[in-house]
């Protein structure tokens, strides 16, 4: 484990370090580029803190064992990339339905299929939200630096524990594979799941305004009935519309009601901006550069970088749309999150998509040109 202080490390190593600091004591994964270094580092470091590292037979088994470990009381994580993320979707849906806290790291690579397996992308941003069948609401974070690989991994665990839900850390092959400065803090703030107040606690129902039920774990005499089938607050399978609606609306609302608390934005110069560059993850790096250059030229532009992509900061952006002229949405895909921006802006400002596929970052000069064009 890295000592507090400054280090030069790989993004994936920073993620692994953040996980251990957040209390992660169980990791299961399957080798895949460009996520493997997270496994390598945790295989070395987790046993030192008494944690369990497993290399499973595939990604399906990896996420499954993470769910099992979480119910056995572990803070647990898996890490993968596109093809593995595909395979995990069914059990991610299971984790939503059973309200299992866990962290899934997706170091995104360029697809579809094997695609450019070593190149970065942000093509899975909707898969993070809609990957499994059924309705649910997801929390997804997007780091833009090695430092944030550490910080957002810690936050991912804290959010997972706070809201009893799977949290997606949507990194990419660029952030995972660059070496940058990492400052490891002396102390890390860690949140733990709410433990049951009594043996009669209902693990899937609560009167608490957070809508997050207490979570018993295996082996404590709770006679737990964990099931992916529609269930009553006590866990007993029941397919009635009432029970189904109660659980899926609560699973949705516990996230949506807390959107303002989960929201995490990095903004620059939004006060007087007429053109807003909206981006997330690696593609926010050239976006930031373009905004800085445009400002140097006196152009009234600003940056809105989503560190939390899901739940989408709808309220915030809607407010912004009232007073700006245009949004330029920069991402490494064929233009995905731009649709969400269009939906929220709803014609009140222009929305321009600037996206790149092929494993390349949208160049800052193109973003700068777009800023110029939109601010004319």
Question: Which residues lie near other proteins (CB under 8 A)?
Answer: 25-26, 28, 44, 47-48, 50-52, 54, 56-58, 60-62, 64-74, 76, 90-91, 94, 218-229, 235-237
**For other proteins, which is the closer residue by CB, 132 or 174?**
132
Question: Beta partners for 268?
Answer: 303
**Quick check: 59 and 80 in contact, CB under 8 A?**
yes
CA distances from 105 to 16, 98, 146, 205, 317 (A): 10, 20, 14, 28, 26
**Quick check: 176 and 169 in contact, CB under 8 A?**
no
**For other proteins, which is the closer residue by CB, 51 or 311?**
51
**For other proteins, which is the closer residue by CB, 42 or 370?**
42
Q: What is the distance in angstroms between the CA of the first residue and the CA of the last residue of the chain?
A: 51
Q: Which residue has the tokens 């995104």?
A: 108
Smallest distance, Å, CB 309 to other proteins? 26
Smallest distance, Å, CB 163 to other proteins? 21
**For other proteins, which is the closer residue by CB, 133 or 376?**
133
**Quick check: 200 and 165 in contact, CB under 8 A?**
no
Smallest distance, Å, CB 105 to other proteins? 17
Smallest distance, Å, CB 28 to other proteins? 6
**For other proteins, which is the closer residue by CB, 28 or 326?**
28
**For other proteins, which is the closer residue by CB, 70 or 147?**
70
Q: Hey, what long-range contacts does 199-207 have (CB within 8 A, 24 or more apart)?
A: 202/233, 202/234, 203/99, 203/233, 203/234, 203/235, 204/99, 204/231, 204/232, 204/233, 204/234, 204/235, 204/247, 205/232, 205/233, 205/234, 205/246, 205/250, 206/233
Smallest distance, Å, CB 65 to other proteins? 3
Smallest distance, Å, CB 67 to other proteins? 6
């Amino acid at each position: 484990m890295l000592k507090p202080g400054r280090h030069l490390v790989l993004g994936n190593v920073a993620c692994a370090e953040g996980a251990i600091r957040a209390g992660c004591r169980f990791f299961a994964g399957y080798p895949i580029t460009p996520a493997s270094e997270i496994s390598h580092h945790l295989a070395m470091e987790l046993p030192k803190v008494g944690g369990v590292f497993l290399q499973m037979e595939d990604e399906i088994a990896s996420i499954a064992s993470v769910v099992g470990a979480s119910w056995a009381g572990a803070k647990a994580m898996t890490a993968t990339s596109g093809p593995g993320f595909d395979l995990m979707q069914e059990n991610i849906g299971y984790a939503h339905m059973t309200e299992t806290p866990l962290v899934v790291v997706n170091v995104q690579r360029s697809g579809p299929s094997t695609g450019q397996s070593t190149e970065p992308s942000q093509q899975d941003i909707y898969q993070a939200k809609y990957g499994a069948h059924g309705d649910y609401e997801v929390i997804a974070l997007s780091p833009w630096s090695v430092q944030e690989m550490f910080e957002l991994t810690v936050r991912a665990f804290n959010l997972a524990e706070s809201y009893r839900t799977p949290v997606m850390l949507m990194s990419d092959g660029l952030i995972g594979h660059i070496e940058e400065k990492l400052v490891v803090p002396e102390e890390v703030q860690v949140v733990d799941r709410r433990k049951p107040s009594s043996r009669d606690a209902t693990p899937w129902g609560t009167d608490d305004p957070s809508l997050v039920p207490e979570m018993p774990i295996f082996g404590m005499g709770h006679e737990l009935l964990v099931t992916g089938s529609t269930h009553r607050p006590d866990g007993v399978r029941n397919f009635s519309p009432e029970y189904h609606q109660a659980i899926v609306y609560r699973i949705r609302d516990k996230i949506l009601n807390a959107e303002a608390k989960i929201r995490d934005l990095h903004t620059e110069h939004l006060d007087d901006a007429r053109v807003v560059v909206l981006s997330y993850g690696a593609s926010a790096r050239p976006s930031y550069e373009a905004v800085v250059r445009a400002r140097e030229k006196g152009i009234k532009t600003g940056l809105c970088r989503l560190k939390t992509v899901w739940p989408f900061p709808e309220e915030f952006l809607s407010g912004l749309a009232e007073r700006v002229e245009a949004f330029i949405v920069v991402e490494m895909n064929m233009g995905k999150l731009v649709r969400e921006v269009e939906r929220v802006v709803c014609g009140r400002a222009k929305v321009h998509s600037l996206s790149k596929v092929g494993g390349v970052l949208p160049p800052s000069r193109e973003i700068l040109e777009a800023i110029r064009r939109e601010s004319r």
